[in-house]
Amino acid sequence: MKAVRIHEHGDLDVLRIEQLPDPRPRADQVLVEVKAVGLNHLDTWVRRGVPGHTFPLPITPGCDFSGVVRAVGEVAHGVQVGDEILAAPGVACGRCAACSAGNDHLCRHYGILGETTDGGCSELALLPAVNAIPKPTSLSFEEAAAFPLTFLTAWHMLVARCELRAGETVLVHAAGSGVGSAAVQIAKMFHARVIATAGSDAKLAAAKQLGADHVINYEQDDFVTATREITSKRGVDIVFEHVGERTFAGSLRCLAKGGRVVTCGATSGPRLEADLRPLFFKSLSILGSTMGSRGELLQIVDLMAQRVLRPVIDRVLPLDEVAVAHDVMGRREQFGKIVLVPGGDS
């Protein structure tokens, strides 16, 4: 089979297209013929490396993928050959207290496909049977590969961590990203007022189409000043953060009394300098969040099947153009997700 492999961290040239032996599923696994794989910023971190974190190289990246089951292990219950599935990106032990409580994302042994074990940037992929979720017939393979990680992350941030309520105002940073475009939709589904930031007028227009009520071009305007103007100096109830160093201090200044900022990433850098006094004077909350539970993902899949929520796809490329896709992501040129298709046919 053909697969994308990373043997060492570095620039685009470390993304190798290789021919590997066809894998065979273990007893609790299924073998999937991959039809589509969605890219995430996680893939770029695996490629470049993260200081202080060890990845199991060589590795096949790609946590979001969909396809058809071609072989089933002898104890892989609930899945049959020929089933059309999408992959749940998180892998947990299934036995600990966190898993038993439905909080598998808090499992001590939690990992993500394409980060802690081989993912789906290949023609064939192995998947734990419990991670094979039936693909809704209303979704194409490309759509099914374009939402699990980002929508699960955004859902857990807004719904579980922030306990988003109708009528609240939410500031969503980088609405052109996969997780940002998901956050806009989820916030609107809960009848919130959404202020979205992005770096180009084209992305702002796309964010408006997703439901954003107000938009801010952060390359042209100071988002703190603009947010205060939009909210008549009150501030917002929630800031949806994932940019990090470039925006975090300003995000805190955007909050109303009792507001909360929730973050899942630091794409612009991990360092934070901020005045702590507003944190206690205004009763603010800073919340961290990574991924979400399998139960939450199943809710999202159902909402996708009903078309209440929709995957946002920027472009579809053949698997051989994985380096092009990484370059586009690095330049922040896309709105939504880039999807790769093994064989080049979409």
Main-chain dihedrals φ then ψ at residue 115, nearest 5 degrees: -120, -50
Domains 2-146+311-341 and 151-288 share a fold: no
How big is the chain by its Cα radius of gyration, in Å?
20
Main-chain dihedrals φ then ψ at residue 130, nearest 5 degrees: -70, -15
Q: What is the pLDDT of residue 344?
A: 52
The token duo for 12 is 């685009």
Every domain of the chain and the residues it spans: 2-146+311-341, 151-288
Q: How many CA atoms does the CB half-sphere of 253 hold within 13 Å?
A: 15
With beta carbons less than 8 A apart as the criterion, state whether 38 and 338 touch.
Answer: yes
Angle, CA 151 vertex, CA 54 and CA 6 arms, to 5° = 30
CA quadruple 341, 335, 88, 52: dihedral sign: positive
Q: What is the spatial distance between Cα 32 and Cα 38, in angstroms, rounded to a whole number? A: 15
Q: What is the spatial distance between Cα 205 and Cα 300, in angstroms, rounded to a whole number? A: 25
Main-chain dihedrals φ then ψ at residue 263, nearest 5 degrees: -135, 145
Residue 172: which of 195, 154, 205 has the closest Cα? Answer: 195
The CATH label, of 3.90.180.10, 3.40.50.2300, 3.30.9.10, 3.75.10.20, for the domain at 2-146+311-341 is: 3.90.180.10
Q: Which CATH architecture has domain 151-288?
A: 3-Layer(aba) Sandwich (3.40)
One pLDDT digit (tens) per residue for the chain, 346 residues: 999 999 999 999 999 999 999 999 999 999 999 999 999 999 999 999 988 889 999 999 999 999 999 999 999 999 999 999 999 999 999 999 999 999 999 999 999 999 999 999 999 999 999 999 999 999 999 999 999 999 999 999 999 999 999 999 999 999 999 999 999 999 999 999 999 999 999 999 999 999 999 999 999 999 999 999 999 999 999 999 999 888 999 999 999 999 999 999 888 888 888 888 999 999 999 999 999 999 999 999 999 999 999 999 999 999 999 999 999 999 988 999 999 999 754 3
